[in-house]
């Protein structure tokens, strides 16, 4: 059976979830952000992934976020819903709910609470069972820095044989494993890099695009790396890749989601507060981040 005809080529921002000063989900601000992002040639959006603070939202909030996102995301752009949960049953239920309100595909993080028992057999059973039971395509989400579960290329390749598992977002940054995944997986299985810091390297080993925090604040820089790569200008692509790494590091590992949201505030989007137990940036951190964004040509 052939896979669903959904292309993951291009750039997909994993968008933050806006909260108001009381900590409630602000759907109006979400709509306003999407309206502005829609001006760019983005291939779609990941809604309620790691940068969306998905783990801090209850199911009713998630449904309202997806409903609003679907209303504002044009039909030609994909809505990829982060629906991965710890149990297979819960993942199936939430993915069906996301599909009901218009999600085009589901991004499923590896279960990880019992990480020592997340063997290749456990993960294969989980993903295949979900893919059998849901009405939208499944994208594997490997983010070992959070989950401490790192799927090997052979396991990913085995999962790629399932007709409803169409790709993987690989945030690990292991280029050898990514290359092995591309080599071993089915030809129609699509690999997305999970960080702008190794976008060019990922493209060089066969990735088709990326889900990257940087594309929420500087999508044009991500587009340009792709354009230069496909035009064969490796020197130009490498130069830009080097330039974006400090910016990407600042809004991810250095300052986290609070940093990403503050960057959005500076750029005229709505970032707003993070949800507890995360904390907003201190004034000193804000100044450091502002300086990095200015130096990187984002501000």
Tens digit of each residue's pLDDT (9 = 90 or more) over 261-293: 999 999 999 999 999 999 999 999 999 999 999
How many CA atoms, within 13 angstroms, populate the side-chain half-sphere of residue 25? 23
- How does pLDDT run across 75-129, given as a tens digit for each residue? 999 999 999 999 999 999 999 999 999 999 999 999 999 999 999 999 999 999 9
pLDDT score for 2: 77
Question: What CA–CA distance (Å, rounded) separates 254 from 246?
Answer: 10
Residue 79 pairs in a beta bridge with 45
| Segments in the chain below pLDDT 70 | none
Place of tokens 């849901």: 134
pLDDT at 11: 99
**Which residue, among 72, 49, 50, 48, has the nearest Cα to 60 in the 3D structure?**
48
Distance (Å, rounded) from C-alpha 104 to C-alpha 164?
A: 12
First to last CA, the chain: 48
Residue 132 has what pLDDT?
98
Active site residues: 169
Dihedral pair phi/psi, residue 79, rounded to 5°: -105, 110
Three-class DSSP labels, 158-225: HHCCCCCEEEEEECCCCHHHHHHHHHHCCCCCEEEECCHHHHHHHHHCCCCEEECCHHHHCHHHHHHH
pTM, 2 dp: 0.97
| Distance, CA of 165 to chain centre | 16
Answer for the pair 70, 81: CB distance below 8 angstroms, yes or no.
Answer: no
Residue 3 has what pLDDT? 77
Distance CA 60, CA 63 (A): 5
* CATH topology assigned to domain 10-233: TIM Barrel (3.20.20)
Q: Where are the domains of the chain?
A: 10-233
Sign of the CA dihedral running 247, 253, 255, 261? positive
Q: What angle do CA 55, 59, 61 make, to 5 degrees?
A: 90
pLDDT of residue 1: 72
Which of 234, 192, 249, 200 minimizes the C-alpha distance to 49? 192
Percent of the chain with pLDDT over 90: 98
Which letter does DSSP use for residue 129 in this model? H
- Cα 298–chain centre separation: 21
Neighbours of 144 (CB within 10 A): 17
pLDDT of residue 89: 98
pLDDT at 256: 97
Joined tokens for residue 189: 């299985």
């Amino acid at each position: 059976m052939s896979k669903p005809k959904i292309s993951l080529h291009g750039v997909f921002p994993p968008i933050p979830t806006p909260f108001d000063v009381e900590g409630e989900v602000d759907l109006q601000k979400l709509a306003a952000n999407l309206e502005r992002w829609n001006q760019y040639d983005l291939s779609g959006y990941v809604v309620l992934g790691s940068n969306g603070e998905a783990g801090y939202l209850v199911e009713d909030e998630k449904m309202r976020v997806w409903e609003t996102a679907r209303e504002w995301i044009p039909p030609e752009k994909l809505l990829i819903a982060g629906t991965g949960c710890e149990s297979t049953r819960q993942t199936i239920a939430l993915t069906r709910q996301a599909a009901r309100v218009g999600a085009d595909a589901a991004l499923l993080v590896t279960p990880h609470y019992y990480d020592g028992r997340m063997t290749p057999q456990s993960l294969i059973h989980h993903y295949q069972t979900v893919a059998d039971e849901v009405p939208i395509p499944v994208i594997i989400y490997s983010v070992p820095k959070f989950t401490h579960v790192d799927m090997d290329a052979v396991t990913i390749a085995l999962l790629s044989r399932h007709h409803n598992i169409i790709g993987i977002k690989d945030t690990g940054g292991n280029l050898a494993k990514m290359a092995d995944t591309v080599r071993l997986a089915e030809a129609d299985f699509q690999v997305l890099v999970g960080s702008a810091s190794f976008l060019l390297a990922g493209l060089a080993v066969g990735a088709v695009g990326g889900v990257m925090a940087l594309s929420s604040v500087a999508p044009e820089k991500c587009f340009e790396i792709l354009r230069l790569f496909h035009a064969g200008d490796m020197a130009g692509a490498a130069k830009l890749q080097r330039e974006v790494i400090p910016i990407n590091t600042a809004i991810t590992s250095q300052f986290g989601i609070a940093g990403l949201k503050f960057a959005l505030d500076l750029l005229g989007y709505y970032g707003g507060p993070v949800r507890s137990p995360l904390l907003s940036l201190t004034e000193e951190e804000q100044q450091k981040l502002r300086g990095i964004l200015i130096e990187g040509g984002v501000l």
